[in-house]
Amino acid sequence: MPPAATPAFLRTIAWNADGLVPAIVQDAATGEVLMMAWMDESALVKTLETGLAHFYSRSRRRGWLKGETSGHVQEVESIHVDCDADVVLVKARQVGGACHEGYRSCFFRRVAADGRLEVVGEPVFDAEAVYHGGGDPPPAPDAG
Ligand SMILES: N=c1c2ncn([C@@H]3O[C@H](COP(=O)(O)OP(=O)(O)OP(=O)(O)O)[C@@H](O)[C@H]3O)c2ncn1[C@@H]1O[C@H](COP(=O)(O)O)[C@@H](O)[C@H]1O
Ligand SMILES: [Mg+2]
Ligand SMILES: [Zn+2]
């Protein structure tokens, strides 16, 4: 299959000075807001081509398939652009949890009346095991 032509709407996106656009991911079924991350053009094209949400991480300075480590991919149902085209909304089916801290949504904390943050979400997976338990266990301290 020949590569698809560059989708026309990419020229409409109001990329910021770093060539990025904020992307909000929403649960397509429930409307729950799951996370916000950044996309560059490549991430948006890969999202369109694969049907799985891709992002650009500023801290890691590379593109990123959501779920590449955790398996917690986001199967895209639709992509929306806001009125002035400077925010993207992705409606998706979330496998597992969106948040790398173990919650379904990154917005698992609420500002309480006393000004503190209170956890209002329930953990849906063991973040330590998912993100740090994949490799071989470290050798026992007194092994050998
Ligand atoms: N998995 C996530 C993840 N899921 C959701 N988010 C949200 O996505 C936002 C952007 O991620 P980054 O920090 O990588 O990107 P950034 O461009 O530095 O954004 P800022 O935090 O600086 O605003 C975070 O602030 C979180 O709110 C995540 N941020 C980071 N990760 C890491 O991504 C890696 C791969 O994880 P999976 O994609 O789940 O396999 C692991 O190392 C995870 O720790
Ligand atoms: Mg970050
Ligand atoms: Zn999070």
ipTM, 2 decimals?
0.88
Residues with CB under 5 A from ligand 2 (ion): 59
Q: How many whole angstroms from 60 Cα to the centroid of ligand 2?
A: 8
Element housing 46 (H / E)? helix 41-50
**pLDDT one-digit tens code per residue, 25-70:** 999 999 999 999 999 999 999 999 999 999 999 999 999 999 999 9
Burial class (CB in 10 A: 0-12, 13-18, 19+), 41: middle
Q: How far is CA 131 from the centre of its chain?
A: 15
Share of the chain above pLDDT 90, in %: 87
Fold for 19-100, please state it. Answer: Ubiquitin-like (UB roll) (3.10.20)
Structure tokens at 31: 């409307």
Identify the residue whose C-alpha is closest to ligand 1 atom 32. 100
Q: Which amino acid is at 133?
A: G
Q: How far is CA 97 from the centre of its chain?
A: 10
